[in-house]
Amino acid sequence: MKNECVKLESIQPTEENHYSLFQEALEQDPQVFFHTTAKRNLEAIANQGFKSSLDLGSGQLASVSYAKKSSSCLAHIGTEITDEFVVLAVRFETLDATKIVVNMSDIHVFSADIQPSIIGYCDIPKGFMYS
């Protein structure tokens, strides 16, 4: 598995744009979701796909979560950003699978065999601030 990770143009998240990081076309697409991770993980995700923290041996979650809006990724990493992060925009062909749980604001994928295609990513630099 090799996904080419293309850096996408991001927009400044503000209250007016609902703290979105990407253009409206991506934010409004029902098949597009967002995932945040430390930037150092980007190459591994591109080469090996998304893995749960349980599969990585770094936690107990058996699923990979994807937010319906990029602003949820900012909420996930908090307001004091002390590391470099990326937010990936991904596309799922279908959500109709027994190993995908669809929630109000996110989805959880419980199988490493279900991998979205990576559309691209934007950087969240150390010290990033939004208003």
Query: What's the pTM?
Result: 0.89
24-124 CATH choice from 3.40.50.300, 3.90.228.10, 3.40.47.10, 3.30.930.10: 3.90.228.10
Q: What is the pLDDT of residue 5?
A: 72
C-alpha–C-alpha distance, residues 62 and 97, integer Å = 16
> Please, are residues 106 and 34 in contact by the beta-carbon 8 Å criterion?
no
Q: Which helix (H) or strand (E) holds 50?
A: none
Task: Report d(CA 95, CA 81) in Å as an integer.
Answer: 31
The rounded distance, in Å, linking the Cα atoms of 92 and 88 is: 13
In tens, the pLDDT along 55-114 reads 988 889 999 999 999 989 877 776 677 788 899 999 999 999 999 999 999 999 999 999
Per-residue pLDDT reduced to its tens digit, 23-64: 999 999 999 999 999 999 999 999 999 999 999 888 899 999
Tell me the mean pLDDT in the region 17-22. 81
